[in-house]
Amino acid sequence: MFIFASKQIKMQHIIDRFISYVTIDTESDHKSESTPSTAKQWDLANKLVEELKAIGMQDVTIDEKSYIMATLPSNVTQEVPVIGFISHFDTSPDFTGANVKPQIVSNYDGKDIVLNAEKNIVLSPSYFKDLLLYKGQTLITTDGTTLLGADDKAGITEIVTAMEFLINNPEIKHGKIRVGFTPDEEIGRGAHHFDVEKFGADWAYTMDGSQIGELEYENFNAAGAKITFKGKSVHPGYAKGKMINSMLIANAFINELPAGETPEETKGYEGFFHVHHLTGSIEETVLELIIRDHNKKKFEKRKELIEKITRKINKKFAKQFGEDIVITEIKDQYYNMKEKVLPVKHIVDIAEKAMKEIGIKPLIKPIRGGTDGSQLSYKGLPCPNIFAGGHNFHGKYEYVPVESMQKAVEVIVKIAQLTATEDSSKK
Ligand SMILES: [Zn+2]
């Protein structure tokens, strides 16, 4: 049932495995405080444990928070760095992941794909131009009513399939490989309870990027600010010199932020302030924003600016209000992994070389967000991110080309091989 045609990883095998994962609902939930945030994530977690054992992985463990780890022992005698591959089994709460009905589009003709005729939902290359990269390939799409869950069940499919391939082809040399599957990545908690020490790898890769070729080791430095504005409500007819409208102060605060430095007006390495929540009345307004910048110095400057505007407005109202009218709380969220990866840059170079050796053009670019890898890097496990192949994550237009998943499997196998054969003194 598991046959390799000239060492090619069989497409149908990948499709079957992927579908067996995405048809299990594992949507995570921001509002929950438990780990995993939703009990249904156990459904897939438990299945993965059984599957890892079935393909012959060793030391397969699952802890009380559903974190899964497993080992593929080294098959070489010399000492080789221990590497890891990581992905997450939850799906985004942004769109429903219940009753996913994957559709297979073979030999994609480059035209519109009708996801749902009844609801007139069409996946069109005129809007999603990336589709044209995959003409002639096999795509897996949704039926237009759910997300697909390629983020990140494509990554899990690829890791399991690569481990199985290495087990079935022992002539391919590799060191000890650790596998880690986590819950709750989509709600920013995937790395929170990840036991880096227990994992015991020198470095790892998250298989959680998008387009084939993506290789990422830079992400934003991130902070969130909650800014509370106080006010004084007075009858509008008698308000002169007395009323303080907190909503208008919040408005003045927003106007002090640099124009054009918003998500919708920036790209590449440009940072931003993003006002994402604003609720208010005369007596109190709460403004929430996030601060993002790849550059650590600029990131600190941005946080200082928030404090500076706060002080300026507080000073202006000091007499009239008697106490601080603006209260600002800034919390750092995560940092650019580049700082932790650059000292061990060869871990990126190996991934890049692996891609080139199997004919993939590496696309190295900064992430405009964070990954679990950034948190793991700061916990002591340097962890760049590699493509898993999917597109249009977190919604009904999500799709994944099976050929990209096949290539990701090959990348994992190649990285394992290169790590065991390259000069490991660079470790
Ligand atoms: Zn993901």
Nearest to 288 by CA among 296, 297, 279: 279
Has residue 396 got a pLDDT over 90?
yes
pLDDT at 6: 42
Give the separation between CA 366 and CA 276, rounded to whole angstroms. Answer: 22
Average the pLDDT over 214-239 and give the result. Answer: 96
Q: Which residues are catalytic?
A: 90, 185
Q: Would you say the CATH fold of 221-334 matches that of 6-219+336-421?
A: no
Query: What one-character-per-residue DSSP string does 66-97 give?
Result: --EEEEE---SSS----EEEEEE--B-TTS--
Instruction: Give the angle subtended at the CA of 107 by the CAs of 169 and 92, to the nearest 5°.
Output: 75
pTM score of the predicted model: 0.88
pLDDT at 127: 96
The predicted-structure confidence for 384-395, as pLDDT tens digits, reads as follows: 999 999 999 999
The predicted-structure confidence for 326-373, as pLDDT tens digits, reads as follows: 999 999 999 999 999 999 999 999 999 999 999 999 999 999 988 889
Q: From the CA of 186, how far away is ligand 1's center (Å)?
A: 7
State which residues have CB under 5 angstroms from ligand 1, the bound ion. Answer: 151-152, 208
- From the DSSP assignment, how many helices (H) and strands (E) are in the chain? 10, 17
pLDDT at 10: 87
According to DSSP, the residues that pair with 244 across neighbouring strands are 232
The response to whether 152 counts as a known ligand-binding position is no
Domain spans, the chain: 6-219+336-421, 221-334
| % pLDDT > 70, the chain | 97
CB 425 within 8 A of CB 254: no
Give the separation between CA 80 and CA 174, rounded to whole angstroms. Answer: 8
Q: Under CATH, which number does the domain 6-219+336-421 receive?
A: 3.40.630.10
Average pLDDT, the chain: 95
pLDDT at 3: 40
Q: From the CA of 251, how far away is ligand 1's center (Å)?
A: 35
Neighbours of 189 (CB within 10 A): 23
Q: From the CA of 257, how far away is ligand 1's center (Å)?
A: 31
According to DSSP, the residues that pair with 178 across neighbouring strands are 71, 84
Residues 6+ apart with CB under 8 A from 117: none
| % pLDDT > 90, the chain | 94
The response to whether 186 counts as a known ligand-binding position is yes
Give the rounded distance of the alpha carbon of 344 from its chain centre: 22
Q: Under CATH, which number does the domain 221-334 receive?
A: 3.30.70.360
The predicted-structure confidence for 77-89, as pLDDT tens digits, reads as follows: 999 999 999 999 9
According to DSSP, the residues that pair with 273 across neighbouring strands are 291
